[in-house]
Amino acid sequence: VQIFGHEPEMMAEAVRYFCTRKDIGLIDLNMGCPTPKIVKNGDGSALLRDPVLVESILKAAVSASREMGEQGTEMSNPCRMRIA
């Protein structure tokens, strides 16, 4: 599944949700989409202009993934993430 956004806690919440889904094997954080309707909201490739925000998003998303693993959340596969 691919998610996009610019709010670290919302991205972390999406990661938490998708980590509980047995049909999801990978979470792709979209940070490269140039589509105007995505960029105008500060999402996708717009994030590349704000490395501090990208760092916050990554820390929140990785932390959420680890948190779900530590809780013993039932997952068919360990939660894996990819940056695109």
Catalytic residues: 33
Identify which of 13, 30, 20 has the alpha carbon closest to the alpha carbon of residue 81.
30
Cα 50 from chain centroid (whole Å):
16
d(CA 41, CA 21): 27
Check if the beta carbon of residue 26 is closer than 8 Å to that of residue 80.
Answer: yes
